[in-house]
A and B are shown apart, each in its own frame.
Chain A
Amino acid sequence: MELSQFIKKSKINALNHFNFDPYKFYNHIVFIQQFYIQISVTNYILEKTKCTKERMINSFKMVNLNEDICDQDVCDLSLSEKLKIELAISLILNEEEIVIYQFDKYFMEKDLVYFKRLLKKLVLKYNKTVVLIDCSLSFMLDFVERLVILKDEAKVLVYDKKDFFNNELEDLLDLPNIIDFQKYVNRKNCVLNNCTDLKELIKAIYREVH
Chain B
Amino acid sequence: MNELVNINDIDLKINKKDFFKNFSLTFYKGVNAFICGTSASGKTLLLKAIARKIKFSGEIICNGVVALLFDKYYFSSSLVEDELRYVFLSSEQKAFVNSFFDKKMLKSNPNDLSFYNKKILLLCTFLYQNPQMVFIDNLYSFISTSDIEKFDEYFNKNKITVILISNNIEEALNYDYMIVMDKGIIALEGKTEQVLKEEKLLKRLGIGLPFYVDLSIQLQYYNLIDKVCLNKEELVDKLWN
Contact = CB atoms under 8 A, between A and B. Distances in A.
Contact of B39 (A71, A107, A135): A107
B72 A34 contact: yes
B62 interface: no
Interface string A178-191: 10110011001010
A201 B138 contact: no
Contact of B142 (A102, A174, A185): A102
B8 interface: no
A16 to B, nearest CB: 12
Contacts of A44: none
A21 B115 contact: yes
Contact of B71 (A77, A79, A110, A135): A79
Interface residues of B, number: 45
B170 interface: yes
Interface of A: 18-21, 32, 34, 68, 71-72, 76-81, 84, 102, 104-111, 135, 174, 176-178, 180-181, 184-185, 188, 190, 198, 201-202, 205-206, 209
Nearest to B54: A76
Contacts of A185: 236
B138 A202 contact: no
Q: Which 5 A-B pairs have the closest CB atoms?
A: A110-B206, A109-B208, A177-B211, A80-B39, A105-B141
A164 to B, nearest CB: 16
A81 B240 CA distance: 45
Nearest to B140: A105
A201 B216 CA distance: 11
Contacts of A19: 114, 116-117
A181 B224 CA distance: 17
A108 B138 contact: no
14 contacts: A18-B116, A71-B15, A105-B142, A108-B39, A108-B169, A108-B208, A109-B207, A110-B208, A111-B39, A174-B145, A177-B212, A177-B232, A184-B232, A209-B239
Given A108-B37, A108-B169, 6 more contacts: A21-B114, A80-B167, A108-B208, A111-B39, A202-B215, A205-B224
A72 B40 CA distance: 13
A206 B145 contact: no
A107 B141 CA distance: 11
A107 B43 CA distance: 12
A77 B71 CA distance: 13
B240 A190 contact: yes
Interface in B197-228: 203, 205-208, 211-212, 214-215, 218-219, 222, 224
Contacts of B232: 177, 180-181, 184
Contacts of B26: none
A71 B16 CA distance: 11
A188 B240 CA distance: 9
Contacts of B212: 177, 181
Given A109-B207, A184-B232, A206 B116 contact: no
B188 interface: no
Given A78-B39, A81-B40, A178 B211 contact: yes
